[in-house]
Amino acid sequence: MLWAVATVTFFAVRLIPGDPAEAILGGPGSQTSPEALAAVRAEYGLDQPLLVQYLQQLGRLATGDLGRSYALNMDVGPLVLSQIGGTLVLAVLSLAVAWLIALVLATWSTGRGRLAARIGTGLEIVAAALPHFWLATTLIVVFSVWWGVLPPISTADARGLVLPVVTLAIPLAGFLGQVMRESLNTALESPFVLSARARGESDRGVLWRHALRHAALPAISLSGWAFGSLISGAVVVETIFARPGLGRTLLNAVTVRDVPVVVGVVMVVALAYILMTIVTDLASGLADPRPTEIGNGGLS
Amino acid sequence: MPQQASPVFPLNRTAFVKRDRRMPRPGIVPSRSTTLAALAGAAALGLALTGCTSAASSGGSDEPTSGGTLTYASGDAEPTCLDPHVGGNYPQALVSSQFLESLVSLDADGAIIPWLADSWTVSPDGLSWEFTLKDGVTFTDGTPLDAAAVQANIAHLQDPETGSSTGYLALAKVTGTEAVSDSVVRLTLAQPDSALLESLAQPWLAIESPTALMRSQDENCAAPVGTGPFIVDSWVKQNAITLVRNEDYSSPPADAEHDGPAYLEEIVWRFIPDSASRYAALQAGEVDVIDNAQPDTISQAEASDTIVHLDAPRPGASNRIELNSGKAPFNDAAVREAFIRSANIDDAVASLFQGSAERSSSALSSVEPLGVSRPDLFDYDPDAAAKLLDGAGWAEKDSDGYRVKDGVRLTVVFPVSTNQSIPAEQSLFEQIQATAKETGFDVQLTKLDLSSWYTALGSNAYDAVSAPYTKIGPDVLRILFHSDGITPAPSGYFANHAQVNDPELDSLLTEANQVSTGSTNGGDADQRAALYEDAQDLILEGFYILPLYDQQNHFLLGTAVEGARALPTVSTPAFYDAWLNR
């Protein structure tokens, strides 16, 4: 899996027309000399055939060496380590906030009649369709420019985290909410809920102790995918809110064809995605009511 | 040229003040705006200054107070190395101007003034320059500034290991250095170079501590050591560079407002790539100064009474569309003129830039004293354009309304760099595409990122292109229009995008560059000015370029910032005289 990711990324970046050496030395207002270009090409092995460059890169990756950035004058390993924290905090908090919003919305609007359900569905559809850049800009205009309550850029304290987290959480909450509502409705109509009611369980008890556990399963599985999408959302959000992180690193690296950084970041993201999928599988196991209901059948 | 009383531009807090360093445009008469216009410009500047200084500022103190942290938000790319010797681009110049200094500087009229060098002399043959250094200056690591330090810097710039682009090219003619005494350094040149002082004034040739230069390149990139008013304290990538005050500072340029250490205790230099976020951060008071202000935010700022706009066009070339005269269809001067006459620039600039950019008709920036403006050559005149095309054999039109000749459509391939052209400029190109279509040009715009754009240029796959070029002085014309700049080096790099190949122009540019003394006044200076005037006439009358406006460089300053200015060298912001009135 990681090998496939590295290969696809390497060729995708290198096959876009563009010369990394020009990009390394170039940049606004610079005047590139041919001597400097030749030196840079030799230094990074860019004068070698593409296949040789690919094999060299792969060889380094196999030994756990992510290589050295063409553009940033530093090794990719330390670079990724220095930037990953910001993105992880953003992704984890956004996932948590998205779950919270989705749960509140789904439980509030389920079983309260048609109007509530329609409002809930409507909000979820709108939220899921909101593009990050639009949401980010709107939040900045409202909360930073008009009301002046939250900073539009990252700050040393946590205030700067609020707008980026909300930006990432709202569309995700829309997705999670839709999935959750659907399975909640299915669960509420299923026989085990009827039997729970027959045993005298209250509405709230049914919702929280039985139906919700069923309903949460697809949403938990979706969280693995969501984590990946949050990291891609981080590209936009980190740029707009001027936050340090992997998303911004990736964007800059693609612009200057900094192959080692692009491959390095994508590998780390792929690794995080794999880990997250394992975690969600485990979490599904824990949340899945079926084994426990068999075990504790007499008690419930 | 009259000397300006005060080259520093005090910025008024209460009212919006647009600092205008431009030359006045020639009126209806198509005149050559060289010396005369420069004089008029200086006079106008004097008036503007009087107006600025007499305006009272409200509240707080009028006396500079020491202390405080200024937060600067840059929209430019974060430099990969803070040492501008390495590579050498504008983002590096912006931040390194705060902690590195050059041998000489420029005043507001474009005259060379002392900085780290107190004085200089040149031999009659123009091949030997002696610079006497300012006394008692030390780098912030304690190393003294002496002749050997300057030698080490030139060696560093010329060392291929350094990977210098801009500084390396600027020193192309320097063949040797010598310490005449502790405080006098001599540069030996292969040929006279009338641009030497202008080159040395650029931040890419700043003087760094020789002790610090001996560290590894990684270490030096992270925290270069200079003589400047601030010191690099820390750099957290993708977040901020923290600069602290140099308490022992003793080397302000000759046009600074005060002596001794800077007023500001600290500068936090942040990178906020998104234009709207940058402006929102300024409005919210999270940052004090932003750069790369876009036309929409500038017009909002003009309406606000708390934000000050600093308009500091960059020197060197104007922003212009270069027409590739090396291949069809623009190898025909009539077709080039037809394209220029068919593009309605004035209306588009007025609507897209909302008054923040003024139309240029010069190959050079309006801050260049030797720039020649020829508004008569660049009028929008579709009828004349149609006649020119008819005469050049492009009389027929195809079913889509585009002109054809021998079955070939009149196509203009125009790669646009999204890194170098701001959104308003990209829109301007779209409007040019629309108006040129009416005359029958098929302008094919393609938006490319920087490295793809370089590749399009290197493979000669363009008919029109717009590339900024920042350099002090008219020698930029030699780089952009001398036929030496056409032959791509093995790397594919070249600067003469218009592919101008005119022996007469070549000899004018070479001669102007080799006028035996680089002094900016006296008989030689007049000879140099005359040569550059003739060269510009050839370039403009040959319709190789379509001038648009100066290279835009707008700063917005929050209400508390006083005393900030743009250095007249390459228009980077200078905070040595700045203080916070909070």
B473-507 pLDDT, tens per residue? 999 999 999 998 887 655 456 789 999 999 999 99
- Cα–Cα dist B503/B505, whole Å: 5
The mean-pLDDT minimum among A179-188, B107-116, B213-222, B325-334 falls in A179-188
Q: What is the mean pLDDT of residues A97-109?
A: 87
A31, A73, A84, A139: which to substitute to probe chain B, counting the most B Cβ within 10 Å?
A31
Angle between helices B275-283 and B295-303 in degrees, nearest 10: 20
Query: Is A249 touching B (CB cutoff 8 A)?
Result: yes
The mean-pLDDT minimum among A14-18, A108-112, B316-320, B540-544 falls in A14-18
The mean-pLDDT minimum among A63-77, A99-113, B267-281 falls in A63-77
Would the pLDDT of B67 be above 60? yes
Name the amino acid, one letter, at A62.
A
Indicate yes or no: CB of B77 within 8 angstroms of CB of A21. Answer: no
- Cα–Cα dist B366/B314, whole Å: 9
Indicate yes or no: CB of B286 within 8 angstroms of CB of A37. Answer: no
127-146 of A, contacting B, C-beta below 8 A: 137, 140-141, 144-145
Band (A48; pLDDT cuts 50, 70, 90): confident
Residues of B in contact with A23 (CB under 8 A): 450-451, 454
Q: Which of B218, B277, B450 sits opposite A26 (nearest CB)?
A: B450
Would the pLDDT of B9 be above 50? no
Residue (of A30, A27, A274) closest to B469 by Cα position: A30
Q: CB of B517 within 8 A of CB of B126? A: yes
Determine the pLDDT at residue A237: 92
Q: What is the mean pLDDT of residues B457-484?
A: 92
CA-CA distances (angstroms) from residue A174 to A180, A218, A235, B148, B286?
Answer: 10, 14, 20, 66, 32
pLDDT by residue (tens digit) across A223-252?
A: 878 887 888 888 899 989 988 899 888 888
Would the pLDDT of B57 be above 80? no
pLDDT by residue (tens digit) across B122-158?
A: 998 889 999 999 999 999 999 999 999 999 999 999 9
pLDDT by residue (tens digit) across A124-183?
A: 899 988 999 999 999 998 998 888 888 888 887 788 899 999 999 999 999 888 888 888
Residues of B in contact with A143 (CB under 8 A): none
Would the pLDDT of A28 be above 70? no
Domain ranges (residues) in chain A: 2-62, 76-287
Query: Is A164 touching B (CB cutoff 8 A)?
Result: no
B83, B218, B274, B486: which to substitute to probe chain A, counting the most A Cβ within 10 Å?
B274
Q: CB of B334 within 8 A of CB of B320? A: no
Indicate yes or no: CB of A82 within 8 angstroms of CB of B271. Answer: no
Residues of A in contact with B287 (CB under 8 A): 153
Query: What burial class does residue A246 get, using C-beta atoms within 10 Å of its C-beta: 0-12 exposed, 13-18 middle, 19+ buried?
Result: buried
Determine the pLDDT at residue B22: 36
- Cα–Cα dist B169/A87, whole Å: 41
A15, A24, A33: which to substitute to probe chain B, counting the most B Cβ within 10 Å?
A33
Q: CB of B211 within 8 A of CB of B153? A: no
Q: Which residue has the higher pLDDT, B58 or B109?
A: B109
The share of chain B scoring above pLDDT 70, in percent, equals 87
Query: Is A166 touching B (CB cutoff 8 A)?
Result: no
The DSSP annotation for A227-279 comes to HHHHHHHHHHHHHHTT--SHHHHHHHHHHTT-HHHHHHHHHHHHHHHHHHHHH
Query: Is A297 touching B (CB cutoff 8 A)?
Result: no
Determine the pLDDT at residue B305: 84
Would the pLDDT of B55 be above 70? no
The structure's pTM equals: 0.82
CA-CA distances (angstroms) from residue B253 to A48, B7, B466?
Answer: 47, 11, 34
| A76-287 CATH | 1.10.3720.10
Residues of A in contact with B169 (CB under 8 A): 31, 33
Residues of A in contact with B88 (CB under 8 A): 30-31
Q: Which of B276, B449, B489 sits opposite A255 (nearest CB)?
A: B449
Indicate yes or no: CB of B239 within 8 angstroms of CB of A154. Answer: yes
Indicate yes or no: CB of B455 within 8 angstroms of CB of A35. Answer: no
Q: What is the mean pLDDT of residues A193-200?
A: 78
Residues of B in contact with A19 (CB under 8 A): 451, 454-455, 458, 492
Q: What is the mean pLDDT of residues B441-470?
A: 89
Q: Which of A28, A34, A244 sits opposite B491 (nearest CB)?
A: A34
Query: Is A12 touching B (CB cutoff 8 A)?
Result: no
State the CB neighbour count (10 A cutoff) for residue B431: 17
Query: Is A241 touching B (CB cutoff 8 A)?
Result: yes
Q: Which residue has the higher pLDDT, A167 or A37?
A: A167
What phi-psi label fits residue B274: left (phi over 0), alpha (psi between -120 and 50 degrees) or beta?
Answer: beta
Q: CB of B214 within 8 A of CB of B561? A: no
Query: Is A75 touching B (CB cutoff 8 A)?
Result: no
Q: What are phi and psi of B243, to 5 degrees?
A: -115, 135
Among chain B residues, CA nearest to A258: B451
pLDDT by residue (tens digit) across A272-289?
A: 888 888 888 888 777 776
Pinpoint the alpha helices (H) of B270-372: 275-283, 295-303, 333-342, 345-353
Q: A–B: how many Cβ contacts below 8 A? A: 182
Would the pLDDT of B438 be above 50? yes
Query: Is A30 touching B (CB cutoff 8 A)?
Result: yes
Query: What burial class does residue B161 get, using C-beta atoms within 10 Å of its C-beta: 0-12 exposed, 13-18 middle, 19+ buried?
Result: exposed
Distance spanning both ends of chain A, measured CA to CA: 43
pLDDT by residue (tens digit) across B398-412?
A: 999 999 999 999 999
Q: How far is B569 from chain A (nearest CA, A)?
A: 14
Band (B4; pLDDT cuts 50, 70, 90): very low
Compute, in degrees rounded to 10, the torsion defined by CA atoms B524, B529, B530, B532: 130
Pinpoint the alpha helices (H) of B194-316: 196-200, 210-213, 217-222, 275-283, 295-303
User: Locate tokens 């030698």: which residue?
Assistant: B151
Among chain B residues, CA nearest to A78: B237
Would the pLDDT of B207 be above 90? yes
The DSSP annotation for B387-411 comes to HHHHHTT--EE-TTS-EEETTEE-E
pLDDT by residue (tens digit) across B222-274?
A: 999 999 999 999 998 888 999 999 999 999 999 999 999 999 999 999 999 88
- Cα–Cα dist B562/B87, whole Å: 33
- Cα–Cα dist B359/B343, whole Å: 13
The share of chain B scoring above pLDDT 90, in percent, equals 73
Compute, in degrees rounded to 10, the torsion defined by CA atoms B106, B107, B110, B115: -20
Indicate yes or no: CB of B165 within 8 angstroms of CB of A32. Answer: yes
Would the pLDDT of B278 be above 70? yes
Structure tokens at B372: 């020649």
Q: Which of B281, B451, B491 sits opposite A152 (nearest CB)?
A: B281
Determine the pLDDT at residue A8: 73
Query: Is A67 touching B (CB cutoff 8 A)?
Result: no
**For all residues of chain B together, what is the average pLDDT?**
87
Among chain B residues, CA nearest to A15: B452
Question: In this predicted complex, what is the ipTM?
Answer: 0.75
Q: How far is A150 from chain B (nearest CA, A)?
A: 9
The mean-pLDDT minimum among A119-133, A209-223, B161-175, B315-329 falls in A209-223
- Cα–Cα dist B558/A65, whole Å: 46
Q: Which residue has the higher pLDDT, A295 or A136?
A: A136
Q: What is the largest CA-CA distance in chain B?
A: 76
Among chain B residues, CA nearest to A81: B237
Q: How far is B472 from chain A (nearest CA, A)?
A: 12
Q: B97-130 burial, b for 16+ CB within 10 Å, e for fewer?
A: bbbbbbbbbbbbbbbbbbbbbeebebeeebbebb
Among chain B residues, CA nearest to A149: B284
Indicate yes or no: CB of B87 within 8 angstroms of CB of A25. Answer: yes
